[in-house]
Structure formats: C-alpha cells, structure tokens
Amino acid sequence: MEETSVQPAHVHAPPEGFIRKHVFSLDHKVIGKQYYGLALVAVFMGMTLSWLMRFHLVWPTAKVPGLDLLSPAGAPGGIITPEYYLSLLTMHGTLMVFFVLTNAPFAGFGNYFLPIQIGAEDMAFPRFNMMSFWATLAAFLVLVLAFFIPDGPPISGWTAYAPLSAVGKDAGPGLGWGQSLWAISIAVFCIGQLLGSLNFIATTLDLRAKGMTFMRMPICTWAWFITSCIALLAFAVLLPACLLLLLDRMAGTSFFIPSGLVVSDRLQNHAGGSPLLWQHLFWFFGHPEVYIAILPAVGIVSHVLITSMRKPMLSAKVLIYSMLSIGFLSWMVWGHHMFVSGMNPFSSLLFSFPTLTITIPATIITLIWLGSLYGANIQITSASLFALGFVSMFVSGGVSGFFLAQPSIDIYLHATYFVVGHFHMVMGVAAIFGILSGTYFWFPKMSGRMMNETLGKLHFWITFVGTYCIFMPFHYLGIVGNIRRYSSFVNDFMAPLMPLHKFVSIAAFVTGAAQFIFLYNLIHSRFRGKPAPDNPWNATSLEWSIPSPPPWDNFGGKHPVIYHDPYQYGVKGSKGDFVMQDSPEQLASG
Amino acid sequence: MGKLFAIILTIIALASAYPIVVHKYVQPVDISTHGHAIDEQLSDTMAEAGFAFLGAQLLLAFFVWKFSNRKDGSKVTHLPGGAKLMVATAFILVGTEVLALGVLGQKAWADVYFTPPKPDALQVQAQAGQFAFYFRYPGADGKFAPLHPDKIDEGNGNYFGLDPANDVDARDDIVTGELAIPINREIHLLMHAKDVGHSFYVRELRIQQDFVPGLDLSLHFTATQPGRYEIVCTQLCGLGHYNMKAYLNVLSQEDFDKWLKEKATEQ
C-alpha cells in the first residue's frame, strides 16, 4: 500500500439557517453550485453579446429594439456604433474566458466533486473557499457595472493591449472608467482564483481518504489538480499585471507607456514604459489560461466516456502523464501569441517548437480516447454525446493550431478569423461541451433529480451541428484574409465574404436559441425531474457511492476506504459489470 | 443513436473539408518575392492537418457506429497494442510532422526576418495613428528629419511632427497618405507608432507586422506585380479600427518617379 492521508475530524459544524446554508456557505458543494450558477448567468450574457455582434456584422444599419435603453450613446436609436461593437467584443471575451470557461469546469465542478472523489468531507480551507467565490462574484459585478456607466464598457478587447488600455480616455470611449473597472474586476478575479487553486492543491495533497493513492484518483480529479497548479502560477502573474495597469492609469506611472505618444492631439505625460511588457505578462497568463479552461474539460469528458464505454481507458496513466506534460509545456509557449508583435524574431522560433511539441501529448490523449472506444459498449446519453462531441471539437480546434504555431504562416493568418475559429473551437466550444457533458452526467448527483434525456439529445444535435456551422467557416474567412475585431466589412476587400458571414450569423442565432432548451431542461428538471437513484449511470467513483444529493458532510460521518483503481468496468462485480472504488470485493484475477 | 452520430459527424467532416479541397476560399494573389514560401508552407500544413482532421473524425465516427448501444451482455474488448501503440503512433506521426513543419517553416520566416534589407533598398517611413497611416519619403537629400511629437498638428497637415523651420532635413521630406512603391525594388519600411499599437497588413504582400509605440521596427519586402492593394490595421486600436486603411500602389519605376515628383511639389 502506498502512502495515504488520514481524514481530519469535522472542521465545521452543520450549517443552520438559509444564509449560512445557501448564501455565505462554507460547504464546497454549495460553493461549486454558486460558481456554476454564476457561469450560467455569464454564459447567457456572453452569448447575447455575441448575438448582437453577429447581428451588427451582417445588418450594420438595422436597429436592435431596446438596446438604446441600455446604452443611449453606444447604440443611439438601437443601432450599434463601431465603438459599442468593440465594447460588446471586449465584454464577450472577458465574460466567456474568465467567468465561464474558468468558473464552470474548474471552480464549479472542481469544487463540487474534487473533495467527494478523493473521499474528503470538504475543502482544506472552507473559509478561503467561500472568499474565493465572493471575490469572483464581486469581480463579475464590477465588470458588468461598466455597462451602466456614462463612459461605457471598455473597447480594448479581452487582451487589453497597452497603451490603448493604459493611457486613459484620450484614446477613445470606454477607455476611462470602463477600462479601470475591467482592470479592477480582473485583479479581484485573480485573487479569487488564487485562493481557490491553493485550496484545490492543499485538498488533493492532504485530504485523500484511506487507500486513495494518487494513481487511484479519477482522471478528472487529476485534471483539476493539474489545473489548480497552473492557475496558481498564472493568476499570480496576471494580478500584478493588472495592478501595474491600474497604476499607469491612475497614479501616473509608466510601466506600459513609452514617451512621445500623441493621443487625440495631446502629448502624453509618460515616459519609459514598454507596451510589449504588458503583452508578455498577459500572455504568460493567457496561454496557460487556455489549459485552465480545457484540461478540466478533458478530465470530465474522460470520466464520462469511461462510464459510458463500460470499460477503462487504454491507459489512465498515459492520459494523466499527457495532461501533466501539457501543463508543463504550457509555460513555454506564450510567445506564439506575439510572433508579429515586434519581439525579437529569433524568439519566435524558440516559442514555435514547444508549441508544435504540445501537439504530441494532445494527440496521445486523442488517440487514447479513440483507441479506447474500440471494442467498447458505448451507452448513448446526453452526457456521452457531448463527450463524443468534445472529442470531435478537440480534434478540429487542435489541427488549426498546427498553422498558427508556425511563425511563417502566422505572418499571414495572425489577427484573421482563422485565429478566432481556432480558439473558439478548441477553447470555447470544446470546453463548453465538457461543461455540458459534466452537467448532464452529474446533475442527478447535484440535485437528486434526473434531467430530461430527450431534450438533452435535441440540445446536443442542434448545438453540435450549429457550432460547426458557426466556427468552421471562420477558418475559410481567415484563409481569405478576413480580419477580426472589425465592426464592419461593408466597403472593402472583405465585402464579397458577406454571404458567408450571413450564414455564420444565422447559425449563431439558431445554436444560441437551442441553449434555451438546455436552460429550460435544467430549471424544469431541478424541480420536476424524476428522482435520481444514488448511482444512475452504474459508475464506480466515490461520488456515486453516496446519496443524491449528498449530505452536507458528503459521507454521512463515515470515512470511506478505497480498495480499487477508479475505473473497474468490464469486470464481474456484485452489482453488474463494474466494481465501485470503495467496494471491498475482490476482483477476479486475469 | 450512435449510428446517427456517426453519420452526422461524417457529413460534417466531409463538408468541412470540401471548400478546402475545391479551393473555394484561398489567399489573394501573392505579389511578393517571399510570399510563395509562406503559401507553400500553408498548403503543406493544410495537407497534413487535413489528413489528421479527416482521419480522426472518420475513425471517431466509425468506432461510435460500431461500438455503441450493443446488445446486453456483449463483452467489451480492447484494442490490440493498447496504449503503447497509441503513444508510439503519436510520437512517430506527430513528431515527424512537428520536426518537418518546424524546420521547413523556418525558411519562410527567415526570408522575412533574418535577412537584412539590401543597401540600395528604398527607405520609406510609415506612421500609424488613430485611425490613419501616413508615409514619409526622405526627399532629395535622402535623409529623414527627426520627429518632434510636440509639433504634431494634424489640422495643419503636420502628421509626423516635423520642424522645417529649424530643421533643414525636414524641408524636403515628402509626406503622403498612400504608399506608392516601385515594382521589383526592395522597400525598407521604417515603422513608427504615433499613439497606440497598430499593425501593417497587406494580404497580397504576405506581410504583417505590429507598430509598437516606443519601439521603432522595420520591415523589408519587394513587390512583383503592379496594382493597388489594401493596407489595413490588424491590431485593435480604438473605435475607428475597422476603417483604418491606406493603399499600397505598386508602380513602374518611371511612374513612381513621376508620382514622387508630383508629391514633392504638393508639400
């Protein structure tokens, strides 16, 4: 038997009263649901913003009823101005990357299931955990506040490149208080994530149940653990970067602003800073952030796939080592966002090689999934469909990375829709498929009720076909040279591409509308769904060994003991073709 | 329902590849001396990525078709070769691809960035500011006068911040709103940002380079076909970003000399 940790005694008493139970809760399950709920609000906001953008791109002079009430200056008479388009784009990116793709798969599901999957009663630091959520909520509110200030939301994109983001309102609308709120929001968000990831690491290292060795942790536990190590380092860089940006904006420092800039006919009173410093700091965070979004989804999907296939992966160990290598390599590739930024062209080659190399562990993961499907008995459910859809999306988004990893091709494709297609598929859509797969899979455990499978499958088909219809054409647009972040393509080179843009916009409206099927299913099933048994999918990991929903201390005062690897499927057990992790039954040898 | 997934995924994969295979969406004509290397690299990568894309999607579709919702009691089996086979395949296939693309791709990059401009290249300065490009030719003396940001006065046409009153070199500098260049002659473009970050992108030239405030960069290229091409900004620079453009006018040497003379008299 390898080393194991011993459970500590109860660290906190059962909560009493609505506020302690559901609002300022220390319970990791409630906090997980709070994160998920926040991500749900953010994803529907972000999606609405993308609808407005797609609408404006193809019908630039058409009115959006009611939008002038939200922003009389940004959309006078309901017609979106070019600067408001950039605000929508900035807020869409910020909401999606930070408040959806980080919150739901990592902070949300991770909080809920990581302690349960390792047999712990709660996180190592429940109070930090609560603070981390409330910091994240505060960050969200500060960001959204930017919609309601006279200056309007920021227009510098989710990447907030300096000096556009640093010199203040001389540079344009939204770059006064709007941009400051953005920087404050992201700084506070970083604090929340730092507390959260520290907690994940401590919990995984210290609170594993008896017999829960590292290699007996489910793949998604591993994914959350690796992600929390990445997040701890990445957000620790973004936080000071945002503080420096705020100092440039508010205290007259010049970290990112050089001398001699004339903005709106005014010579700026700054000297000595470097715009590239911001890009280095931002992407040093920004690239690992891609893996913060995608690795938890890789873990969730592997977990769901194994259960649906009724057999273990070809090798869980290889999958885990591949995730570790991706996590390690993710620190050496940030410069591939900056090939044409003016940094030393020799360094572009140095950044290119690890970027191309990262495709090796990514391919191993994909091949392990594919190879494991061979000879399986795949149970088709909404959860497994989204997991299979994820595999397809991961491949599609991954192969376009081959192009962008090469500096020579990036000269042509940089800042085109090709890039937008690439990161939406591999980071956005794929991670969202992971979240959706996890939702259909774990909803019964979280709520004690089943989701409607018919609606779930309908949701899958529209979303799967729809997202391909939206994002595959982005690659074609990029190859022709269609530039991103433009609010209009009417009077130039890109005008002939309008029919393709219209196709994309219509696909976006339909696919977005299908998400309301999901929302309805989620809310309706929460109150009216069929009661869920403890283990509806005949799964093996610890979360399925406890009631649905779990009691406040997860294991009802018992201390689980772990006897097996997490994925004993395709074996003869007393309950069927599987043996649970905490079941003392002996496995038939051979 | 697994079979439906397989059918839909196959259709998606083939439909996605179709426009690429029939060259429905392609880069505009290449008018540079270095662009063919980039285009070749792009097309080699497309072949390899396309192979990986179709291979993986069709395999996924096939396995889901064959192995979903089988009869109760059908025993699961494992892929012969197991994880070792997968790891070896990934290393051999992707490793070779990474090496090949990485090494070959360096040549195209080196053509643009590692060769110095020829000594007889025509120097032109480009300035990017919200939301216009301006270009400066050194005039008869062949010298660019220094810039004085405090002297910038767009209302009076002093876009660069020149000081002809005190600066002899500035008096013959020629400032224009379009970039006219002679054909088949190397251009050495000196890049200067006036306010925030911008970028210089000409699709047909296969050139893209950011303007970075405080960092004066340069580019060099040779255009091989006459014509008028769009220069666009590709670095988000503010509300007028989408409309920030100028034109590259590739002229014969005679036409270029004539044009420059005309512009000199307009100053």
**Residue A279 scores a pLDDT above 50:** yes
Residue A261 lies in a domain: no
Residue among B59, B86, B102 whose CB faces A352 most closely: B102
Q: Give bridge partners of residue B201 from the DSSP assignment.
A: B208, B232
**How far apart are alpha carbons A137 and A21 in whole angstroms?**
18
What confidence score (pLDDT) does residue A584 get?
Answer: 92
Dihedrals φ, ψ of B219, to 5°?
-140, 155
**Residue B262 scores a pLDDT above 60:** yes
**How far apart are alpha carbons B118 and B211 in whole angstroms?**
22
**How far apart are alpha carbons A129 and A539 in whole angstroms?**
28
**How far apart are alpha carbons A56 and A71 in whole angstroms?**
15
- Best CA proximity match to A182, nearest among A72, A259, A99: A99
Residue A4 lies in a domain: no
| List of chain A residues whose C-beta atoms are within 8 Å of the C-beta of residue B198 | none
Q: What mean pLDDT is predicted for residues A372-391?
A: 96
| List of chain B residues whose C-beta atoms are within 8 Å of the C-beta of residue A388 | 5, 60, 64
**How far apart are alpha carbons A213 and A114 in whole angstroms?**
14
Q: Is A489 exposed, middle or buried (0-12, 13-18, 19+ CB in 10 A)?
A: buried
Q: Which residue has the tokens 């701890």?
A: A232
Does A523 touch chain B if contact means CB atoms closer than 8 Å? no
Q: What is the 3-state secondary structure (H, E, C) of B168-181?
A: HHHHHCEEECCEEE
What confidence score (pLDDT) does residue B194 get?
Answer: 96
pLDDT band at B267 (very low <50, low <70, confident <90, very high): confident
The residue type at A309: M
A509, A546: one domain:
no
DSSP notation for A303-362: HHHHHHHTS--S-HHHHHHHHHHHHHHTTS-GGGG-TTTTS-HHHHHHHHHHHHHTHHHH
Residue A242 lies in a domain: no
- Best CA proximity match to A269, nearest among A184, A168, A180: A168
Does B58 touch chain A if contact means CB atoms closer than 8 Å? no
A514, A548: one domain:
no
From A490, A506, A528, the end of a domain falls on A528
Dihedrals φ, ψ of B158, to 5°?
-95, 80
Residue A107, helix vs strand vs coil: helix
| List of chain B residues whose C-beta atoms are within 8 Å of the C-beta of residue A412 | 27, 38, 42, 203, 206, 208
Tell me which residue range forms the domain holding A97: 25-216
The residue type at A224: W
Distance from CA of A90 to the nearest CA of B (A): 11
Residue A231 lies in a domain: no
Q: Is A259 exposed, middle or buried (0-12, 13-18, 19+ CB in 10 A)?
A: middle
Domains and CATH numbers, chain B: 2-68+80-113 (no CATH), 122-266 (2.60.40.420)
| List of chain A residues whose C-beta atoms are within 8 Å of the C-beta of residue B213 | 163, 257-258, 261, 275
Interface of A with B in 341-360 (CB under 8 A): 341-342, 345-346, 348-349, 352-353, 356-357, 359-360
Q: Identify the residue among B10, B16, B21, B25 best suited for mutation to test binding to A, counting A beta carbons within 10 A and taking the highest.
A: B25
Residue among B2, B12, B210 whose CB faces A341 most closely: B210
- Best CA proximity match to B125, nearest among B69, B78, B170: B170
Calculate the alpha carbon distances from A98 to A126, A187, A192, A508, B259 in Å: 22, 11, 11, 21, 52
Q: What mean pLDDT is predicted for residues A488-505?
A: 86
A203, A285: one domain:
no
**How far apart are alpha carbons A256 and A161 in whole angstroms?**
9
Cβ-defined contact of B239 to A81 (cutoff 8 Å)? yes
Residue among A274, A309, A411 whose CB faces B206 most closely: A411
- Best CA proximity match to B97, nearest among A199, A533, A362, A234: A362
**Residue A340 scores a pLDDT above 60:** yes
A344, A475: one domain:
yes
| List of chain B residues whose C-beta atoms are within 8 Å of the C-beta of residue A258 | 213-215
A308, A189: one domain:
no
Digit-coded pLDDT (tens) for A140-155: 999 999 999 998 999 9
Does A277 touch chain B if contact means CB atoms closer than 8 Å? no
**Residue A15 scores a pLDDT above 90:** no
More confident residue, A493 or B108: B108
Helix (H) or strand (E) holding B21: helix B2-21
User: Minimal Cα distance from B239: which residue of A?
Assistant: A83
Calculate the alpha carbon distances from A93 to A49, A50, A89, A155 in Å: 10, 9, 6, 11
pLDDT band at B72 (very low <50, low <70, confident <90, very high): low
Interface of B with A in 89-148 (CB under 8 A): 89-91, 93-95, 97-98, 101-102, 105-109, 112-114, 129-130, 147
- Best CA proximity match to B208, nearest among B140, B112, B130, B123: B112
- Best CA proximity match to B221, nearest among B205, B209, B202: B205
How does DSSP classify residue B142? Answer: T
Cβ-defined contact of B130 to A345 (cutoff 8 Å)? no
Calculate the alpha carbon distances from B171 to B164, B176, B177, B190, B267 in Å: 5, 14, 18, 19, 9
Q: What is the CATH number of the domain that holds A443?
A: 1.20.210.10
Residue A377, helix vs strand vs coil: coil
What confidence score (pLDDT) does residue A9 get?
Answer: 46
Residue A101 lies in a domain: yes
A183, A303: one domain:
no
Residue among B60, B77, B91 whose CB faces A391 most closely: B60
Residue A264 lies in a domain: no
pLDDT band at A2 (very low <50, low <70, confident <90, very high): very low
The residue type at A45: M
Distance from CA of B114 to the nearest CA of A (A): 8
Residue B116 tokens, joined = 């110095």
Cβ-defined contact of B12 to A156 (cutoff 8 Å)? no
Q: What mean pLDDT is predicted for residues B47-68?
A: 96
**Residue A589 scores a pLDDT above 70:** no
Residue A248 lies in a domain: no
**Residue A13 scores a pLDDT above 80:** no
Least reliable range by pLDDT among A20-24, A491-495, A534-538, B12-16: A491-495
What confidence score (pLDDT) does residue A491 get?
Answer: 62
**How far apart are alpha carbons A131 and A134 in whole angstroms?**
5
Helix (H) or strand (E) holding B60: helix B35-67
Residue A352 tokens, joined = 């290119």
A340, A359: one domain:
yes
**Residue A492 scores a pLDDT above 80:** no
HSE, side-chain direction, 13 A CA sphere, residue B230 = 18
Percentage with pLDDT > 90 across chain A: 90
What confidence score (pLDDT) does residue A11 get?
Answer: 54
User: Minimal Cα distance from A271: which residue of B?
Assistant: B214
- Best CA proximity match to A401, nearest among A337, A340, A343: A337
Q: What mean pLDDT is predicted for residues B196-214?
A: 97
Cβ-defined contact of A378 to B112 (cutoff 8 Å)? no
**How far apart are alpha carbons B52 and A399 in whole angstroms?**
7
From A186, A201, A216, the end of a domain falls on A216
Q: How many domains are there within chain A? A: 3
A410, A548: one domain:
no
DSSP notation for A415-441: TBHHHHHHHIIIIIIHHHHHHHHHHHH
Beta strand B122-129 with B186-193: parallel, antiparallel or unpaired? parallel
A452, A584: one domain:
no
Dihedrals φ, ψ of A541, to 5°?
-80, 170
From A171, A199, A216, the end of a domain falls on A216
- Mean pLDDT of all residues in chain A? 94
For chain A, first and last CA: distance in Å? 21
Residue A475, helix vs strand vs coil: helix
ipTM (interface predicted TM): 0.96
Distance from CA of A482 to the nearest CA of B (A): 10
**How far apart are alpha carbons B260 and B267 in whole angstroms?**
11
Interface of B with A in 225-264 (CB under 8 A): 230, 232, 234-243, 245
- Mean pLDDT of all residues in chain B? 94
A331, A186: one domain:
no
A212, A336: one domain:
no
Dihedrals φ, ψ of A547, to 5°?
-60, 160
**How far apart are alpha carbons A239 and A189 in whole angstroms?**
9
Q: Which residues of A123-155 are buried (b: 16+ CB within 10 A; e: fewer)?
A: bbbbebbbbbbbbbbbbbebbbebbeeebbbbb
Helix (H) or strand (E) holding B51: helix B35-67
DSSP notation for A19-63: IIIIIS---HHHHHHHHHHHHHHHHHHHHHHHHHHHHHHHSTT--
Residue A479 lies in a domain: yes
DSSP notation for A528-585: HSPBPPS-TT---SGGGGS-SSPPTTSSTT---B--S-S-EEEEEETTEEEE-TT--P
- Best CA proximity match to A352, nearest among A396, A403, A395: A403
**How far apart are alpha carbons B150 and A261 in whole angstroms?**
9
Residue A472, helix vs strand vs coil: helix
**Residue B213 scores a pLDDT above 60:** yes
**How far apart are alpha carbons A225 and A567 in whole angstroms?**
18
**How far apart are alpha carbons A215 and A1 in whole angstroms?**
12
**Residue A3 scores a pLDDT above 50:** no
Residue A339 tokens, joined = 């090939």
Calculate the alpha carbon distances from B114 to A191, A463, B199 in Å: 42, 46, 20
Cβ-defined contact of B8 to A374 (cutoff 8 Å)? no
Q: Give bridge partners of residue A262 from the DSSP assignment.
A: A267
What confidence score (pLDDT) does residue A435 get?
Answer: 98
Residue among A376, A395, A569 whose CB faces B53 most closely: A395
A572, A470: one domain:
no
